[in-house]
Amino acid sequence: MHYEEDCIGKLAVADDVLYGINTTRALHNFNITTERTDSLIFQSMIQIKKAAAVVNHRGGTLAEQKAKLIVAACNALLLGQHQDDLVAPAIQGSAGTSVNMNVNEVIAKCAMRMADGVTILPNDDINQCQSTNDTYPTAGKMAMLKALPPLLQNIEKMVAVLLDLADRYANVLKVGRTQLEDAVPTVYGHTFHAYASLFRRDLTRLRTAAEALQQINLGGTAIGTGLNATDYYRTHVVEALNGISGLKLALADDMIDATQNTDTYVAFSGAMKVLAVDLSKFCNDLRLLNSGPQAGFGELRLPAKQAGSSIMPGKVNPVIPEVVNQVAFQVIGQDVTIGMAAEAGQLELNAFEPIMFRDLLQNERFLTQAIDTLVHNCLNGLTVNVEQCEKNVRHSAVSATVLNPYLGYAQTTALVKEALAKQCDIQTLLKEKKILAPDLVDRLFSPEVMTNQVPTTESRFVAERSSLQPR
């Protein structure tokens, strides 16, 4: 153990760690959970420190030897070394200062180990021209942007699978349902295509929300005014950071606004919340349409993935949609946390970015993995029970809606009631009563007509009424 001193006083720091007094205090103060700050935030913060060292050396405010040692230390960390020293808690006070100082301390000690006799200071050298208030939000945005591509790719895969299902079952009739009651018929081609359209909108929302994350306040230091940052640094640091990170970041037009307001996080969280809502609704439908196998809807067959009961032999549950539902609940709940944290910001800074970043990044990863298992363990093996669908349509009296233009609402209603009472299908009843010509009945109850795949103009109705039998 050795002692280090800060503005609070002296504190014992372990000899076998690279971090110092600031990080040690954070570990003592924020013992809320064992969860560390997200690795992508640490990675992004290190990339910021590397870019800053390069730019500060070029601008003449950091000696060449120090700059080289700092860059070398950053490279070592980016290659995975000393990860056990990046320990700042995920949930913390002081708007991310513990993360910034954890990185500053580790880089400084790591750099000094590379050259004897060189003193590199966490604040004066590693943090030169910076503040937690511009580096931490920049690192958080970078982390969110880095975590986004796998989520977008998985949504795209899901859309592709849904379009394949729409094509495979394009002409399979099913009973449409509104408020869980029989409605007019449709086809599973329409059903799966509608889901694909839904998730395409989620892709658009996420991409649009992510564009705002590219606007950063790096160089704004404490409150966006850029105090203590050189003009050279402010002009060149973002370009250097883009070269290191591969991202397309840009300085915000209003640095004061970008430092104190976190509405971009709320918007990004909102896009993920909508995706979660859509996923949950979709999985609710999958579970309902799969229900049975004897006493439920039984229209879809989801792949069997594990035994569903410790007491009922042979019972198989829709475990994949169930786990996706639970992920959706978590994401929706954390969206509330993010909104409350954004609203609670005061004056020139929001102190609650740590919980926002923690939840935003977790939501990205949870949704990415949830969609991955939904596609690979459910949708890829999903089949439609065509026989059950045909039976349901045949025995659904609501399919008689197609008769309205020919017989009127009142007579059609009477036929529906009679068919339900006799437990027979409408087609059989119509032919028995000879209300319409048999060939017209067949045409009206064809998949094309019942799903409105042929024109239903007044002229067609007028022309076909000539074949009606006397009422």
* Residues belonging to the active site: 309
| Structural contact between residues 122 and 108, judged by C-beta atoms closer than 8 angstroms | yes
- DSSP string covering 115-134: STT----IIIIITTT--HHH
CB count within 10 Å of CB 9 equals 8
Measured CA distances, 262 to 132, 163, 384 (Å) = 15, 37, 45
The radius of gyration computed from the CA coordinates of the chain, to the nearest angstrom, equals 31
H or E segment to which residue 383 belongs: strand 383-384
Are the CB atoms for 120 and 106 separated by under 8 Å?
no
How many other C-beta atoms are found inside a 10 Å radius of the C-beta of residue 242? 16
Which tokens is 289 given?
Answer: 């349409």
Measured CA to CA in angstroms, residue 332 lies from 9, 278, 357 at distances of 43, 11, 15
Distance in Å from the first CA to the final CA of the chain: 101
Closest listed residue to residue 253, CA positions, set 212, 222, 221: 212
Tokens coding 132: 């937690």
Tokens 């449709």, residue located: 186
Q: Which helix (H) or strand (E) holds 169?
A: none
